[in-house]
Amino acid sequence: MFTNGVTILEGASFERGCPVGTPAASGDDDDLRTAAAEVFTRWSKAISRAARREGRSPRSADDLGTVLVSLYEGALLVARTEKSTRPMRSAAAAAGRLVAG
């Protein structure tokens, strides 16, 4: 997830971000915002299901899903702003620690 973000940033000279979050955050289109929210929810739920299969409690798994999606989106925004992959690499390391428990 984070490695893919670094690849996207570097390949686009930090001009492109998340194809979901970037357009949704940059306009007043409620339909686009709703669609993006649904995508973020699907991502979060997929992470949550995987975490539950690994033995996390439902609450912990749901929190992990929300936090990882938020961490990714935030790191992508900061990386684009700074024109640096450092935020994505730092977020990837932190995500690994969160997943490990």
Using the structure block, give the residue that is written with the tokens 């992470």. 47
Domains of the chain: 2-100 (1.10.357.10)
- State which residues of the chain have pLDDT below 50: none
Query: What pLDDT score does 75 carry?
Result: 92
**What's the pLDDT score for residue 21?**
67
- State the angle between helix axes of 58-82 and 2-11 in degrees (0 to 180), rounded to the nearest 10: 20
**SS3 call for 10:** helix
Which two tokens mark 48? 């949550």
Q: What is the pLDDT of residue 64?
A: 98
pTM of this structure: 0.84
Name the maximum alpha-carbon separation found in the chain: 40
